[in-house]
Structure 1
Amino acid sequence: MRIAVMGTGGVGGYFGARLAAGGHDVAFIARGSQLDALRTKGLHVESPRGDLHLPEVTATDDPGTLDPVDLVLFGVKLWDTEAAAEQIRPLLRAGTAVVSFQNGVVKDEILSRVLGPEHVLGGVCYIAATIAEPGVIQHSGPMQKLVFGEYGGKSTPRVEAFRDACVESGIDVEVSPRIERAVWEKFVFLVGLSGTTSLARTPIGPIRANDKSRAFLHDVMEEVVEVARASGVPLPGSYADDRMAFVDTVPATMTSSMHHDLERGNRLEVAWLSGDVVARARKLGVPAPANRAIADLLSVHAAGRP
Structure 2
Amino acid sequence: MAEIKTVSIIGLGALGILFGHHLSKKMPAKNLRIIADQQRIERYEREGVYCNGEKCHFHYVTPEETVEPADLVLFTVKFNGLDEAVEAVKQHVGPDTVILSALNGISSEEIIGRTYGMDKMLYCVAQGMDAVKTGNQLTYAHMGMLCFGEKEPGLFSDKMKKVARFFEQTDLPYEADTQMMKRLWGKFMLNVGVNQTVAVYKSNYGEIQKDGPAREMMIAAMREVEALSEKEGFPLTEEDLRYWLKVVGNLSPAGKPSMAQDVEAKRYSEVGLFSGTVIKLGKKYGVQVPVNEELNRRIREIESTYTAVH
Shorter chain as denominator, the TM-score bin is: 0.7 to 0.9
Range with greater deviation from structure 2 (281-290 or 156-165) = 156-165
TM-score by length of 2: 0.87
Distance 1:282 1:237, change over 3 A: farther
Shift of 1:30: 2.6
Range with greater deviation from structure 2 (36-45 or 193-202) = 36-45
Shift of 1:259: 0.3
Shift of 1:37: 4.5
Partner of 1:119: 120
Q: Which amino acid aligns with 2:32?
A: V
Distance 2:142 2:245 in 1: 21
Identical pairs, percent: 23
- 1:206 aligns to what SS in structure 2? helix
Distance 1:166 1:14 in 2: 14
Aligned pairs, how many? 299
- 2:175 aligns to what SS in structure 1? strand
Distance 2:150 2:16 in 1: 20
Partner of 1:128: 130
- 2:12 aligns to what SS in structure 1? coil
Cα-to-partner distance string for 1:34-74 (whole Å, 9 max, x where unaligned): 5225445765421xxxx75444x321331553321111100
Q: Which amino acid aligns with 2:72?
A: L
Q: Which amino acid aligns with 1:293?
A: E
Distance 1:31 1:210 in 2: 45
State yes or no: 1:18 paired with 2:19: no
Q: Is the 8 A contact 1:68 1:91 kept in 2?
A: yes
Range with greater deviation from structure 2 (206-215 or 221-230) = 206-215
For structure 2, which runs of at least 5 residues remain unmatched after alignment?
none
- 2:264 aligns to what SS in structure 1? helix
Distance 2:141 2:199 in 1: 21
Q: Which amino acid aligns with 1:28?
A: I
The one of 24, 31, 34 equivalent to 1:28 is: 34
Distance 1:170 1:44, change over 3 A: farther
Shift of 1:118: 1.1
Partner of 1:8: 12
Shift of 1:194: 0.5
Distance 1:243 1:147, change over 3 A: closer
Range with greater deviation from structure 2 (224-233 or 34-43) = 34-43
Q: Is the 8 A contact 2:142 2:251 kept in 1?
A: no
Shift of 1:237: 4.5
1:1-306 correspondence runs (5 A): 1-23=5-27, 25-31=31-37, 34-40=40-46, 43-46=49-52, 53-55=55-57, 57-62=58-63, 64-126=65-127, 127-134=129-136, 136=137, 138-152=138-152, 153-302=154-303, 305=307, 306=309
Distance 1:274 1:71 in 2: 31
Shift of 1:296: 1.9
Q: Is the 8 A contact 2:35 2:88 kept in 1?
A: no
Q: Is the 8 A contact 2:63 2:90 kept in 1?
A: no
* Superposed CA RMSD: 2.4
Distance 1:238 1:117, change over 3 A: same
Q: Is the 8 A contact 2:193 2:218 kept in 1?
A: yes
Cα-to-partner distance string for 1:145-185 (whole Å, 9 max, x where unaligned): 11112222533333223222222222211111111111111
Distance 1:189 1:155 in 2: 25
Shift of 1:248: 4.1
Distance 1:254 1:279, change over 3 A: same
Range with greater deviation from structure 2 (87-96 or 73-82) = 87-96
Cα-to-partner distance string for 1:96-155 (whole Å, 9 max, x where unaligned): 111100111121121222322112111111222244333x4x232123211112222533
Q: Is the 8 A contact 1:100 1:107 kept in 2?
A: yes
- 1:98 aligns to what SS in structure 2? strand
- 1:141 aligns to what SS in structure 2? coil
Distance 2:65 2:274 in 1: 31
Distance 1:54 1:243, change over 3 A: closer
Choose between structure 1 and 2: higher strand proportion. Answer: 1
Q: Is the 8 A contact 2:70 2:93 kept in 1?
A: yes
Distance 1:33 1:9 in 2: 16
Distance 2:109 2:148 in 1: 12
